[in-house]
Amino acid sequence: MHNIVCIKQVPDSAQIRVHPVTNTIMRQGVPTIINPYDLFALEAALGLRDRFGGEITVLTMGPPSAEESLRKALTYGADRAVLLTDRCFAGSDTLATTYALATAIRKIGKEYGPANLIFTGKQTIDGDTAQVGPGIAKRLGVGQLTYVAKVRSVDVANETIEAERRSEGGVQVLHTRSPCLITMLEATNQIRRGAMADALRAARAKIVKWSAQDAGVEDMSKCGLKGSPTVVKRVFAPPARAERAALVESAEQPAQALIDAIFLNQPKLETDLATLARDARSGLSGQC
């Protein structure tokens, strides 16, 4: 069983700065980490390898410094790491990123064997679009399971998978065939502590580095800024709220009086709650 995990090296969100002219994230001098959501994806892949055996390839696209994050992934137990790095990838939005990653995944399949499952985190903390995972699946022509909380079972022989997906209405149990792409939800597992043997292996491991040509990119106009139709016009922090919180709690007042006071100050809240309750009742009656 061969699984591919796509990770991204991102700036530590606690120390992010935005360029005042280009409105892009300034990465110079900012500590980097593996995107936290991708660690849930990596642990899910490691758990399946524990059960079914096989190999895990970790893939990222980024500058040469992203090698540090790949080595970190190797310390957790991944078998190999591939770094897709080329100046032509600079400035890629999600459309250009998915084109490059999908091309690299096809190359990985030829070099190391086809992937049974492709894992990503549900989103990244520097972009928050949640578009890359589904975009890769679309370009590869494989099924996708998004916001997965748990991989229930995998039938390697019959190439089927069953997973739990969280939605606003509850938990969905989905069945599909592999290969497919899975985006893992946060807080679904906890990344393991890497073994000492894996840490020593990661320190001396050779990171596979591919340029656009090495990965087999055929249309350079779909890469980097040329292939990125997204334009960031402005990045700004939300303005501070002028209103102060009002204290409505009182030991002398009954609960209903407190609720009435809240609805008096927030008249729209009562309407919204009534709408939610009506929709919930309609959903329950529709399932009977």
> Mean pLDDT score of the chain, rounded to an integer?
88
3-state secondary structure of 54: coil
Distance CA 77, CA 61 (A): 20
pLDDT at 27 over 80: no
Please give the structure tokens belonging to residue 103: 């091309």
* Average pLDDT over every residue of 204-223: 94
- What pLDDT, in 10s, does the model give residues 37-79? 999 999 999 999 999 999 999 999 999 999 999 999 999 999 9
198 has pLDDT over 80:
yes
- In percent, the amount of the chain with pLDDT more than 70 equals 90
With 0-12 / 13-18 / 19 or more C-beta atoms within 10 angstroms meaning exposed / middle / buried, residue 247 is exposed
CATH number for the segment(s) 2-222:
3.40.50.620
Per-residue pLDDT tens over the stretch 71-121: 999 999 999 999 999 999 998 999 999 999 999 999 999 999 999 999 999
CA–CA distance, 151 with 161 (Å, rounded to integer): 8
Max distance between CA atoms of the chain, in angstroms, equals 74
Query: Mind listing the pLDDT tens digit for each residue in 237-262?
Result: 667 777 777 666 665 666 777 777 77
Q: Please say if the pLDDT value at position 288 is more than 60.
A: no
pLDDT for position 128: 86
Domain ranges across the chain: 2-222, 241-288
Instruction: Report if pTM > 0.75.
Output: yes
pLDDT of residue 160: 94
Of all helices (H) and strands (E), which one includes residue 165? Answer: strand 160-167
